Amino acid sequence: MFNIKKKDRVVVLSGKDKGKKSEVLDVFPDKGKVIVSKVNFVKKHVKPTQKDIGGICEKEAPIVMSKVMLICPKCEQTIRPKFDKLSDGGKVRMCRKCGEMII
């Protein structure tokens, strides 16, 4: 189980977008990277096709998972979540500061 999942709010810890708060769009656990909306824009040269004109487009590139930190939805503070077991045997993420479950 990873600390960060899709649709989590995170803050960027380092790099050119340091301090930006945004939502996670995609997670690549095998590579240890995440795509965060409106963060780490790169320019990509695209060839024209029958459906699309070509040109230079901007899109979000993946960043390393260790460069982002989760924001608790209740207390709005950056946290490293702890993992607790439920009575049915499942694992759930918990905020260390306020004790709220992060779904």
Q: How does pLDDT run across 37-76, given as a tens digit for each residue?
A: 999 999 999 999 999 999 999 999 999 999 999 999 999 9
Q: Can you tell me the mean pLDDT for 10-24?
A: 97
What is the full DSSP assignment across 20-62? -EEEEEEEETTTTEEEETTSSEEEEEE---SSS--EEEEEE--
Q: pTM here?
A: 0.85
Q: What is the mean pLDDT of residues 72-98?
A: 93
Instruction: Report yes or no on 2 lying in a domain.
Output: no
4 domain residue, yes or no: no
Q: How many domains would you assign to the chain?
A: 1
- Mean pLDDT over all residues of the chain? 94
CATH number of the domain residue 62 falls in? 2.30.30.30
- Model confidence at 2, pLDDT cuts 50, 70, 90, reads confident
Q: Tell me, yes or no, whether 74 lies in a domain.
A: yes
Tell me the helices (H) and strands (E) count for the chain, helix number first.
Answer: 0, 11
1, pLDDT greater than 80? no
**Does residue 30 lie within any of the structural domains?**
yes
Q: What percentage of the chain reaches a pLDDT higher than 70?
A: 99
